Amino acid sequence: MFNIEMINQNKLAGQRIGYIGLGNMGLPGARHLLAAGADLVVWNRTRDKGSELLEKGARRADSLRELAEYVKGGIVCLNLTHTHVVREIVLGEAGLAGSLDAEALVIDFGTTSVEATKEFAQQLRWLDAPVSGGQTGAEQASLTIMVGGSEQDFERAKELLHTVGKRVTRMGESGAGQVTKLANQLIVAQTIDAVAQAIRMAERAGVDPSLVREALMGGFAESRILQLHGERMINRSFQPGGRAELQLKDVRLICELAQSIGFSSPTLDNCLRQWELLVDEKGLGQIDHSGLFELYR
Protein backbone atom coordinates (compact mmCIF):
# COMPACT_ATOMS: atom_id res chain seq x y z
CA MET A 1 0.00 0.00 0.00
CA PHE A 2 1.44 3.38 -1.04
CA ASN A 3 1.93 6.14 1.49
CA ILE A 4 0.67 9.48 0.07
CA GLU A 5 3.23 11.39 2.13
CA MET A 6 6.04 9.36 0.59
CA ILE A 7 4.66 9.97 -2.91
CA ASN A 8 4.63 13.75 -2.26
CA GLN A 9 8.17 13.55 -0.91
CA ASN A 10 9.38 12.08 -4.18
CA LYS A 11 7.35 13.96 -6.76
CA LEU A 12 10.44 15.88 -7.95
CA ALA A 13 12.78 12.90 -7.65
CA GLY A 14 15.83 13.22 -9.88
CA GLN A 15 14.94 16.64 -11.29
CA ARG A 16 17.93 18.97 -11.41
CA ILE A 17 16.89 22.27 -9.90
CA GLY A 18 19.02 25.30 -9.09
CA TYR A 19 18.01 27.79 -6.41
CA ILE A 20 19.42 31.31 -6.19
CA GLY A 21 18.54 33.53 -3.22
CA LEU A 22 18.19 31.86 0.18
CA GLY A 23 16.58 34.62 2.22
CA ASN A 24 13.38 34.56 4.27
CA MET A 25 11.35 33.40 1.26
CA GLY A 26 13.93 31.46 -0.71
CA LEU A 27 15.26 29.21 2.03
CA PRO A 28 11.86 27.64 2.86
CA GLY A 29 11.16 27.19 -0.87
CA ALA A 30 14.46 25.42 -1.42
CA ARG A 31 13.78 23.27 1.62
CA HIS A 32 10.43 22.11 0.16
CA LEU A 33 12.01 21.23 -3.19
CA LEU A 34 14.72 19.21 -1.49
CA ALA A 35 12.12 17.37 0.60
CA ALA A 36 10.26 16.54 -2.61
CA GLY A 37 13.31 14.70 -3.93
CA ALA A 38 14.86 17.33 -6.19
CA ASP A 39 18.54 17.12 -7.08
CA LEU A 40 19.13 20.60 -5.71
CA VAL A 41 22.08 22.94 -6.21
CA VAL A 42 22.09 26.34 -4.49
CA TRP A 43 23.92 29.64 -4.75
CA ASN A 44 23.68 32.67 -2.49
CA ARG A 45 25.76 35.83 -2.19
CA THR A 46 26.28 35.13 1.52
CA ARG A 47 27.95 31.76 1.33
CA ASP A 48 26.95 30.39 4.73
CA LYS A 49 23.22 30.86 4.05
CA GLY A 50 21.48 27.53 3.51
CA SER A 51 24.01 25.32 5.29
CA GLU A 52 21.14 23.20 6.56
CA LEU A 53 20.30 22.30 2.94
CA LEU A 54 23.78 20.92 2.37
CA GLU A 55 23.40 18.70 5.41
CA LYS A 56 20.25 17.25 3.83
CA GLY A 57 21.83 16.50 0.46
CA ALA A 58 21.82 19.73 -1.56
CA ARG A 59 24.95 20.88 -3.41
CA ARG A 60 26.51 24.33 -3.21
CA ALA A 61 27.70 26.02 -6.39
CA ASP A 62 30.69 28.34 -6.09
CA SER A 63 29.54 30.42 -9.05
CA LEU A 64 26.50 31.04 -11.22
CA ARG A 65 28.28 29.31 -14.07
CA GLU A 66 28.84 26.21 -11.96
CA LEU A 67 25.16 26.17 -11.00
CA ALA A 68 24.06 26.56 -14.63
CA GLU A 69 26.38 23.79 -15.82
CA TYR A 70 25.10 21.42 -13.17
CA VAL A 71 21.42 22.15 -13.86
CA LYS A 72 21.93 21.72 -17.63
CA GLY A 73 18.44 21.69 -19.16
CA GLY A 74 16.64 21.70 -15.81
CA ILE A 75 15.02 24.52 -13.85
CA VAL A 76 16.57 27.48 -12.04
CA CYS A 77 14.56 29.30 -9.35
CA LEU A 78 15.28 32.91 -8.41
CA ASN A 79 14.13 34.46 -5.14
CA LEU A 80 15.66 37.92 -5.16
CA THR A 81 14.45 41.25 -3.83
CA HIS A 82 15.27 43.84 -6.50
CA THR A 83 15.07 44.08 -10.28
CA HIS A 84 18.66 45.27 -10.61
CA VAL A 85 19.85 42.18 -8.71
CA VAL A 86 17.84 39.89 -11.00
CA ARG A 87 19.38 41.68 -13.99
CA GLU A 88 22.90 41.17 -12.67
CA ILE A 89 22.27 37.48 -11.93
CA VAL A 90 20.73 36.87 -15.35
CA LEU A 91 22.49 39.21 -17.75
CA GLY A 92 25.64 40.26 -15.87
CA GLU A 93 29.12 39.41 -17.06
CA ALA A 94 29.12 36.22 -14.97
CA GLY A 95 25.35 35.76 -15.20
CA LEU A 96 23.15 32.83 -16.15
CA ALA A 97 22.41 33.85 -19.73
CA GLY A 98 25.89 32.91 -20.92
CA SER A 99 25.93 29.48 -19.29
CA LEU A 100 22.43 27.97 -19.24
CA ASP A 101 21.36 25.33 -21.78
CA ALA A 102 18.75 26.47 -24.28
CA GLU A 103 16.18 24.12 -22.69
CA ALA A 104 16.74 25.39 -19.14
CA LEU A 105 13.77 27.17 -17.59
CA VAL A 106 14.11 30.10 -15.17
CA ILE A 107 11.37 30.79 -12.61
CA ASP A 108 11.43 34.22 -10.95
CA PHE A 109 9.57 34.11 -7.62
CA GLY A 110 10.40 37.71 -6.76
CA THR A 111 8.51 40.91 -7.49
CA THR A 112 10.32 42.29 -10.53
CA SER A 113 9.64 45.16 -12.94
CA VAL A 114 7.16 44.20 -15.67
CA GLU A 115 9.29 45.80 -18.37
CA ALA A 116 12.44 43.98 -17.22
CA THR A 117 10.53 40.70 -16.99
CA LYS A 118 9.52 40.92 -20.64
CA GLU A 119 13.13 41.68 -21.53
CA PHE A 120 14.42 38.62 -19.65
CA ALA A 121 11.77 36.44 -21.30
CA GLN A 122 13.11 37.39 -24.73
CA GLN A 123 16.51 35.95 -23.87
CA LEU A 124 15.71 32.88 -21.75
CA ARG A 125 12.86 30.46 -21.17
CA TRP A 126 11.21 32.37 -18.36
CA LEU A 127 8.27 32.23 -15.98
CA ASP A 128 7.49 35.22 -13.79
CA ALA A 129 5.94 33.65 -10.70
CA PRO A 130 5.70 36.22 -7.90
CA VAL A 131 4.10 35.04 -4.69
CA SER A 132 1.80 36.28 -1.94
CA GLY A 133 1.56 34.86 1.55
CA GLY A 134 4.71 36.13 3.19
CA GLN A 135 7.28 34.19 5.15
CA THR A 136 4.60 32.11 6.88
CA GLY A 137 3.19 31.05 3.51
CA ALA A 138 6.68 30.16 2.30
CA GLU A 139 7.37 28.02 5.35
CA GLN A 140 4.00 26.25 5.11
CA ALA A 141 4.13 25.86 1.29
CA SER A 142 0.77 27.65 1.14
CA LEU A 143 1.79 30.57 -1.10
CA THR A 144 -0.42 32.03 -3.79
CA ILE A 145 1.60 32.06 -7.02
CA MET A 146 0.72 34.24 -10.02
CA VAL A 147 2.42 33.03 -13.18
CA GLY A 148 3.24 34.66 -16.50
CA GLY A 149 4.77 32.78 -19.42
CA SER A 150 3.97 30.20 -22.07
CA GLU A 151 1.47 27.42 -21.44
CA GLN A 152 4.18 24.86 -22.26
CA ASP A 153 6.61 26.19 -19.67
CA PHE A 154 3.83 26.53 -17.12
CA GLU A 155 2.86 22.88 -17.55
CA ARG A 156 6.49 21.88 -17.21
CA ALA A 157 6.84 23.78 -13.93
CA LYS A 158 3.50 22.80 -12.38
CA GLU A 159 4.80 20.11 -10.03
CA LEU A 160 7.51 22.42 -8.75
CA LEU A 161 5.10 25.33 -8.28
CA HIS A 162 2.63 23.18 -6.36
CA THR A 163 5.47 21.99 -4.14
CA VAL A 164 6.09 25.52 -2.81
CA GLY A 165 2.58 26.97 -3.16
CA LYS A 166 -1.08 26.13 -2.73
CA ARG A 167 -2.95 28.34 -5.23
CA VAL A 168 -1.15 28.46 -8.57
CA THR A 169 -2.67 30.36 -11.51
CA ARG A 170 -1.32 31.08 -14.97
CA MET A 171 -2.30 34.70 -15.66
CA GLY A 172 -1.14 34.94 -19.29
CA GLU A 173 2.07 35.60 -21.18
CA SER A 174 5.33 36.96 -19.76
CA GLY A 175 4.77 39.87 -17.39
CA ALA A 176 1.18 38.93 -16.53
CA GLY A 177 2.24 37.36 -13.24
CA GLN A 178 4.08 40.52 -12.22
CA VAL A 179 1.11 42.72 -13.17
CA THR A 180 -1.10 40.54 -10.95
CA LYS A 181 1.36 40.75 -8.05
CA LEU A 182 1.49 44.53 -8.37
CA ALA A 183 -2.31 44.61 -8.25
CA ASN A 184 -2.03 42.56 -5.06
CA GLN A 185 0.52 44.95 -3.62
CA LEU A 186 -1.61 47.97 -4.53
CA ILE A 187 -4.36 46.52 -2.32
CA VAL A 188 -1.94 45.47 0.43
CA ALA A 189 -0.08 48.80 0.65
CA GLN A 190 -3.25 50.89 0.84
CA THR A 191 -5.06 48.49 3.18
CA ILE A 192 -2.18 48.57 5.67
CA ASP A 193 -2.49 52.35 5.65
CA ALA A 194 -6.28 52.19 6.13
CA VAL A 195 -6.03 49.71 9.01
CA ALA A 196 -3.33 51.83 10.69
CA GLN A 197 -5.54 54.91 10.48
CA ALA A 198 -8.61 53.06 11.77
CA ILE A 199 -6.81 51.64 14.80
CA ARG A 200 -5.16 54.94 15.70
CA MET A 201 -8.45 56.83 15.27
CA ALA A 202 -10.16 54.40 17.66
CA GLU A 203 -7.38 54.85 20.21
CA ARG A 204 -7.54 58.63 20.00
CA ALA A 205 -11.31 58.49 20.45
CA GLY A 206 -10.90 56.47 23.64
CA VAL A 207 -12.20 53.12 22.36
CA ASP A 208 -10.28 49.89 22.99
CA PRO A 209 -8.62 49.10 19.61
CA SER A 210 -8.60 45.37 20.41
CA LEU A 211 -12.38 45.42 20.68
CA VAL A 212 -12.65 47.51 17.50
CA ARG A 213 -10.54 44.97 15.61
CA GLU A 214 -12.57 42.09 17.01
CA ALA A 215 -15.86 43.74 16.03
CA LEU A 216 -14.69 44.60 12.52
CA MET A 217 -13.55 41.03 11.88
CA GLY A 218 -17.20 40.09 11.42
CA GLY A 219 -18.03 42.70 8.77
CA PHE A 220 -17.00 43.92 5.33
CA ALA A 221 -13.75 45.36 6.73
CA GLU A 222 -12.51 41.88 7.60
CA SER A 223 -9.18 40.99 5.99
CA ARG A 224 -5.94 39.16 6.65
CA ILE A 225 -4.30 42.54 7.10
CA LEU A 226 -6.79 43.56 9.80
CA GLN A 227 -6.39 40.15 11.42
CA LEU A 228 -2.58 39.90 11.42
CA HIS A 229 -1.23 43.41 10.98
CA GLY A 230 -4.00 44.96 13.04
CA GLU A 231 -2.86 42.86 16.00
CA ARG A 232 0.76 43.88 15.41
CA MET A 233 -0.25 47.54 15.39
CA ILE A 234 -2.22 47.21 18.64
CA ASN A 235 0.72 45.40 20.30
CA ARG A 236 3.34 47.71 18.70
CA SER A 237 5.14 44.58 17.51
CA PHE A 238 6.99 45.28 14.27
CA GLN A 239 9.62 42.56 14.04
CA PRO A 240 10.14 42.18 10.28
CA GLY A 241 8.41 39.53 8.27
CA GLY A 242 7.85 41.65 5.16
CA ARG A 243 10.14 44.66 5.51
CA ALA A 244 8.79 48.17 4.95
CA GLU A 245 11.61 48.95 2.50
CA LEU A 246 10.43 46.11 0.25
CA GLN A 247 6.85 47.37 0.42
CA LEU A 248 8.11 50.76 -0.79
CA LYS A 249 10.03 49.02 -3.57
CA ASP A 250 6.81 47.34 -4.70
CA VAL A 251 4.81 50.58 -4.54
CA ARG A 252 7.43 52.21 -6.75
CA LEU A 253 7.06 49.33 -9.24
CA ILE A 254 3.29 49.88 -9.20
CA CYS A 255 3.83 53.55 -9.99
CA GLU A 256 6.25 52.63 -12.79
CA LEU A 257 3.66 50.32 -14.33
CA ALA A 258 0.85 52.87 -13.87
CA GLN A 259 2.87 55.55 -15.64
CA SER A 260 3.73 53.22 -18.53
CA ILE A 261 0.05 52.45 -19.22
CA GLY A 262 -1.35 55.93 -18.56
CA PHE A 263 -3.15 55.00 -15.34
CA SER A 264 -3.47 57.72 -12.69
CA SER A 265 -4.66 57.40 -9.11
CA PRO A 266 -4.62 60.06 -6.36
CA THR A 267 -4.79 57.36 -3.68
CA LEU A 268 -1.75 55.63 -5.18
CA ASP A 269 0.14 58.93 -5.17
CA ASN A 270 -0.70 59.42 -1.49
CA CYS A 271 0.23 55.81 -0.74
CA LEU A 272 3.67 56.34 -2.26
CA ARG A 273 4.19 59.47 -0.14
CA GLN A 274 3.33 57.57 3.05
CA TRP A 275 5.75 54.72 2.39
CA GLU A 276 8.51 57.15 1.37
CA LEU A 277 7.92 59.09 4.58
CA LEU A 278 8.25 55.91 6.68
CA VAL A 279 11.29 54.49 4.90
CA ASP A 280 13.24 57.39 3.40
CA GLU A 281 12.52 60.19 5.87
CA LYS A 282 12.03 58.34 9.15
CA GLY A 283 14.56 55.60 8.32
CA LEU A 284 12.27 52.73 9.35
CA GLY A 285 12.75 50.53 6.30
CA GLN A 286 13.88 47.51 8.33
CA ILE A 287 10.72 47.15 10.42
CA ASP A 288 7.72 45.09 9.33
CA HIS A 289 5.47 46.85 6.83
CA SER A 290 2.70 46.88 9.46
CA GLY A 291 4.96 49.48 11.10
CA LEU A 292 3.41 52.10 8.82
CA PHE A 293 1.30 52.57 11.95
CA GLU A 294 4.25 54.52 13.36
CA LEU A 295 3.27 57.47 11.15
CA TYR A 296 0.07 57.92 13.13
CA ARG A 297 1.40 57.57 16.68
3-state SS track over the chain: CCCHHHHHHCCCCCCEEEEECCCCCHHHHHHHHHHCCCEEEEECCCCCCCHHHHHCCCEECCCHHHHHHHHCCCEEEECCCCHHHHHHHHHCCCCHHHCCCCCCEEEECCCCCHHHHHHHHHHCEEEECCEECHHHHHHHCCEEEEEECCHHHHHHHHHHHHHHEEEEEEEECCCHHHHHHHHHHHHHHHHHHHHHHHHHHHHHCCCCHHHHHHHHCCCCCCCHHHHHHHHHHHHCCCCCCCEHHHHHHHHHHHHHHHHHHCCCCHHHHHHHHHHHHHHHHCCCCCCEHHHHHHHHC
- Is 72 considered catalytic here? no
- Annotated catalytic residue, options 72, 118, 158, 181: 181
Tell me which amino acid residue 7 is.
Answer: I
Which residues does the annotation mark as catalytic?
Answer: 181
